[in-house]
Structures are given as structure tokens and as C-alpha cells.
Structure 1
């Protein structure tokens, strides 16, 4: 007993804080993965738009010639 409190109470408090810290780390890692996924999908979308723009310009050049 430490200061009239059983040792397992201190262990429980430590585990609660540890659990909170691990949850915070997992949340932060998931947010980072989500951000990477959004960036990757955005790049694919922008590449697709650029490719379509080039095809449209090529078609317009062929039509005007």
C-alpha cells in the first residue's frame, strides 16, 4: 500500500493513461494514412483531367485543320 491506496489502483491508472496514449497514436496514424490516400486519389484525378485536356486539344487541332 502506498499512501493508503493499493498498488493495483496505481497500475490501473497507469494502464488507463497508456490506453489513451495508444488510442491517440492510432488515431493520428489513421489520419495520416487517410491523408496519403486522399493525396494519391487526388493526383490520379488530376492526371486524368490533364490527359483529357490534352486529348481535347488534339481533337480541336485535328478538326480545325
Structure 2
């Protein structure tokens, strides 16, 4: 164990930290994407409701 240079341990620790940060960042990105998709979905559903109401009002007028 002592025959390995000290900088090898630093490299291995850097690889582990880099992997952890990659996983953490990917998780955060998925959460942000899910929130954005949900918000856009709500906007789309609201547009559909408004269009449906508009068509019903036109139908009542005729």
C-alpha cells in the first residue's frame, strides 16, 4: 500500500468526486426538466379549456 505514490490517491479521489458531482447534476437536471414539462403541460391544458369554452359560446350564439 505504501509503494503507491501519494498522487495516485488524489487522482482516485478526484475520480470519485467527479462521479458524484455528475450524478448529482444529472438528478438536478431531471428535476428541473420535469418541472418545466409540467408547467408547459398546464399551459397547454389551459389553452385547450379556453378553446373549448370559446367554441361552446359560439355554439350557444348560433
**Which structure has more RCO (C-alpha within 8 Å, separation ≥ 6)?**
1
Structure 1 distance, partners of 2:31, 2:51, is 30
Unpaired runs of 5+ residues, structure 1, are none
- In the alignment, structure 1 residue 14 sits paired with structure 2 residue 13: yes
TM-score (structure 1 length as normaliser)? 0.89
TM-score (structure 2 length as normaliser)? 0.93
Per the alignment, in what secondary structure is the counterpart of residue 12 of structure 2?
Answer: helix
Taking the TM superposition and a 5 Å limit, the aligned residue runs for 1:35-46 are: 35-46=34-45
Where does structure 1 differ by over 3 angstroms across 4 or more consecutive aligned residues? none
Which residue in 1 is equivalent to 2:49? 50
Aligned residues: 62
1:1-48 CA-to-partner distances (Å, cap 9, x unmatched) read: x43111111111011000010011111111111111100110000000
